[in-house]
Amino acid sequence: MSSISFFLIICASALFHSFHFSIAGSNETDRLSLLDFKAKITGDPLGVMRSWNDTVHFCEWHGITCHRGGRVKKLELYSSKFTGFLSPSIGNLSFLKVLFLYNNTLGGTIPPEIGRLNRLRYLLLGKNAIEGHIPPNISACSRLTELNIGSDRLVGKIPSEFSYLVHLQLLRLEKNYLTGTIPLSFENLSSLSKIYLYYNYLSGSIPKSLGKLNKLTLLSLGGNMLSGIAPSPIFNLTLLEAFDVGVNNLEGNLPSDLGIKLPNLQWFSIFNNNFTGSIPTSIINSSGLSVLQFSSNNLTGQVPSLHRLANLLRLTLANNSLGNKLSGVIPRGIGKLHNLGRLMLHANQLLGKIPFSIGNLTMMTVLTLQNNNLVGQIPSGLGNCNSLLSLNLASNRLSGKIPTQVFEITTSVHLDLSMNKFNGSLPEEVGQLKNLGWLGVSGNMLSGEIPSTLSSCVELTNLYLNGNFLQGAIPGALSELKGLNVLDLSKNNLSGEVPTGGIFSNATGLSLNGIRGLCGGKPELKLPKCNKKNQKKSLGHKNRFILGIVFGLLGIISMVTIFVSLYIYWYKKKTKLPTPLGNFSENYPNLSYQTLLKATNGFSFDNLIGRGTFGAVYKGILHDLVETSIIAIKIFNLEQHGASKSFMAECGVLRTIRHRNLIKVITACSSVDYQGNDFKALVYEYMVRGSLEEWLHPVAIDVVEDTDTAPRLSLRQRLDIVVDVASALEYLHHNCGAPIIHCDLKPSNVLLDEELVAHVGDFGLAKFLSKSISNSNANQCSSLGVRGTVGYAPPASSNGDVYSFGILLLEMFTGKRPTNDIFSEVISLHHYVKEAVPERVIEILDHSLVEDIDSEKTDSSLMLEALISVLEIALSCSTEVPRERLDMSDVTAKLTSIRNKLLGTRLQQRRRIRADNVPATL
């Protein structure tokens, strides 16, 4: 398709230039240009242009408004899901005042002929997929008041000729790929009130002359590569309400009278730059401020007391060299920040209660409030934060019972409530936290018994219950927690026999100090035997003496142990451990923690592109002097049991393999973060088109985005992708030295590049096999104690990849996830398809495929035939009996032949053209 539309653009503009239209034209000129406009709209799924026919006068066509003289004044067809491109003949609508095509999926370039529309006031082409350079002669539309070409795919420089647009009030160029500098001539845009340039690749400094635009209320330059000193005149624009220069390389100090000069400020953001000096105290005069972002600069001095800023919703200060700390209460309005991903306010002097509205932050993954002076109860609404991975409220003065809702956040991995004044018992509901690795409630006033449901927290590695008033026996079930490394029960009122097995069989991770009533257990624990006499009787003098010696010796031994461990720790640190990373690092730059932090904007929520069992994946931008590259970074959550092994597994696999359908790793980073914790990450090529999951099941990303406009994959594209994935698996299983099984194949692990070529990623569960893959006994996937994903993991462990691949095929052509609610043990996705193939196949196909087949009238029976064959392959891959499953070599051969039969050689041509960088029209 891309080649065709590219060709059409050339033809159309050639045709256009070979005719001569008179400048003002006539009403007939208008009619012809509208018809040409319509002809270039290749897709109109909502049927918006149905009324554009000869039985109706063009002034009555949907979206058209005419002047009294019968000439077109407005063309307003926004949010219409159009595909195609903008016809150059639009330049003949000489009386046009408004061209409003915002929020469609138009591709192609902006036709320079638009420059002929000298009556144009509003030009809104933003939120499309328009490419190429901005034609400088748009500046000939000298009466423009609004120019919106943001959120497109524009490249090149901002034309300096824009300075002729002296009536321009709104300029939106954000979210494109624009390079070069902000034109100096912008100082002439004397009517400008709002300017959006964020998320481009602009460089150079901010022109001082922008300070002359004294009508500016909004200046948004964030997420570029601007450098140099931020010129003081821009802090002198009295009407400014929003000022955003975050994520650049700017330097300089903030003027001390900032808040006095800019009394209307609501949004002030300079984060991730190189600003120095202090935060001006005058900022509190800008009393309407709701967002203040200072983090990741080089700011010093004290933070002014900000409690007068009653509307403050977001405040970031981290990563500076600021002295005194935050004080005051957490504003109630915090609950309005629905998209907030992390709220980290630890180690400050916060007072008062945790606001109830915290429960509205349902996207929050990290909440750290430890080391403050918070009082009152934990609001039960916190239970609504069901994305939380880490919750730390330690070292405050919180009290009351721990609400059971806290134990309903089943995503929790790290939960620390230590050193508060909580009372009541530890609720049984704690057993619901299946992902919990770390639980601390030490130093509270908890009473009652230790709930035996803790044994359901199968991922627990660290459990701190010490320093409470817990009583009763230690539940024997705790010995079932295989991964438990640390169990601290010291200083409680526990009694009875110490269990054996599990953590209790290994005295190193176990602490039972300061508990009088215990007996039994392993001899190393040196507890009295459990006969009833002994339990109550106090120890005699002699025994005490002996015990004293024993404990003394133990003390010396443990000191020596600690010393030796510290030494080993220090030694390891000094000598670093480059082991499994060596091979990447030789070929690629070693990226430091700092670089990755900067590249991902402080691992900001906005950059989060995915989350898996062992960590999160962020998008990052690396700048160096020569070029800017986009990368994907997987950060391993090392608190998650098995994550470290997974990192090693993935390093091991990715180091040894190369295939065009496997994700390419750029480098690995094994380092320590700013808190001194181990930090492990893998850096991959960024896959522009996201994962197959997002294509099969698009979700709204934010309030202005919607799912229906999301482009869908055609049958041909799907066939290309399945052949790609099959080739990758065939390579892993049969053609790369020691066979490798992926063990977690699913749509979210299949990533698509610019040309929609599929790359299999996420080798965190992968396994090398020593024997041939055809030996079905060897094919085990559960070495990390984690099986693949529910729905995709096979019922029996062998030939697992083939099974997962079969499920993936079924999902790709039915559009239904194996975990869809309509399926059950009895009627699985497999059965659902099996029942329908071949006669009723059309009923189970993904809707958009049915449309695809319908629209290709000539080929539709061939297409259906191909689909049936593919589904039959899918069914034999996903059968429950491993022996009956096909081998990946057979699967690849069959799928390739189905695809080639359907697409013939045309496909090969198309792919070559795509690779020549003519962007695909979807």
Ligand X SMILES: *[C@@H]1O[C@H](CO)[C@@H](O)[C@H](O)[C@H]1NC(C)=O
* Edge-to-edge order in the sheet of strand 131-132: 131-132, 153-156, 177-178
Residue 335: alpha-carbon gap to chain centroid: 21
User: Closest separation between CB of residue 340 and ligand X, Å?
Assistant: 11
- Does residue number 311 form part of the binding site for ligand X (CB under 6 A)? no
| Sheet architecture: strand order including 486-488 | 342-344, 366-368, 390-392, 414-416, 438-440, 462-464, 486-488, 510-511
Q: Does 233 bind ligand X (CB under 6 A)?
A: yes
User: What would the two tokens of residue 471 be?
Assistant: 């009583």
Q: Tell me whether residue 27 or residue 399 sits nearer to ligand X (CB atom).
A: 27
Segment near ligand X (CB under 6 A); pick from 17-25, 332-340, 543-551, 644-652: 332-340
Q: What minimum distance in Å lies between the beta carbon of 635 and ligand X?
A: 20
Stretch that binds ligand X, among 284-292, 333-341, 616-624, 630-638 (CB under 6 A): 333-341
Write the burial class of residue 10 (CB in 10 Å: 0-12 exposed, 13-18 middle, 19+ buried).
exposed
One of 132, 277, 288, 335 touching ligand X (CB under 6 A): 335
User: Of 81, 121, 133, 167, which lies in the binding site for ligand X, with binding defined by CB under 6 A?
Assistant: 81
Is residue 879 a contact point for ligand X (CB under 6 A)? no
Closest distance of CB 150 from ligand X, Å: 12
Q: Which of these ranges, 231-239, 304-312, 387-395, 600-608, lies near ligand X under the rule CB under 6 A?
A: 231-239
Nearest to 51 by CA among 39, 42, 60: 60
> If we measure between CA atoms, which residue out of 72, 75, 71 comes closest to residue 62?
75
Q: From the list 55, 513, 677, 824, which residue makes contact with ligand X (rule: CB under 6 A)?
A: 55
What is the residue whose two structure tokens read 């701190």? 464
Q: Rule CB under 6 A: which of 414-473 touch ligand X?
A: none
Could you write out the three-class secondary structure of 492-508?
CEEEEEECCCHHHHCHH
Minimum distance of ligand X from residue 390's CB (angstroms): 22
CA angle 729, 735, 740 (to 5 degrees): 55
Q: Which run of H or E residues covers position 66? A: strand 64-66
Q: Is 522 annotated as a binding residue?
A: no
Query: Among 65, 118, 190, 298, which residue interacts with ligand X (rule: CB under 6 A)?
Result: 298
Q: How far is the CB of 526 from ligand X (least distance, A)?
A: 52
Is 274 a residue that touches ligand X (CB under 6 A)?
yes
Which of 160, 185, 327, 357 contacts ligand X by CB under 6 A? 357
* CA nearest neighbour of 763 among 580, 547, 520, 607: 580
Q: Does 249 sit near ligand X (CB under 6 A)?
A: yes
Tokens of 185: 């001539």
Among 179, 193, 232, 590, binds ligand X (CB under 6 A): 232
CA 182 to chain centre: 30
Query: Is residue 25 within the footprint of ligand X (CB under 6 A)?
Result: no
Give yes or no for residue 56 binding ligand X (CB under 6 A).
Answer: yes
Minimum CB–partner distance for residue 12 and ligand X (Å):
24
Which residues in 206-225 contact ligand X (CB under 6 A)? 211
**Binds ligand X by CB under 6 A, chosen from 3, 27, 423, 889:** 27
Structure tokens at 524: 């190393």
Part of the chain binding ligand X (CB under 6 A), chosen from 48-56, 90-98, 519-527, 670-678: 48-56
Residue number with the smallest Cβ distance to ligand X? 335
Nearest to 785 by CA among 440, 507, 411, 434: 434
Question: Among residues 30, 44, 724, 744, which one is catalytic?
Answer: 744
Q: 577 vs 704, which CB is nearer to ligand X?
A: 704
- B/e letters for 132-166, b = 16+ CB within 10 Å, e = fewer, are bebbbebbbbeebebbbbbbbebeeebbbbbbbbe
152 noted as active-site residue: no
Enter the tokens of residue 571. 């030694």
Q: Which is nearer to ligand X, 262 or 808 (CB)?
A: 262
Residues 671-710 binding ligand X (CB under 6 A) are: 704, 706, 708-709
CA 80/CA 101 separation, integer angstroms: 8
Compute φ and ψ for 148, nearest 5 degrees: -125, 100
Q: Residues forming the annotated binding site? A: 634
Active-site positions read 744
Interaction site with ligand X (CB under 6 A) = 27, 50-51, 53, 55-57, 70, 79, 81, 103, 211, 232-233, 236, 249, 274, 298, 333, 335-336, 357, 360, 704, 706, 708-709
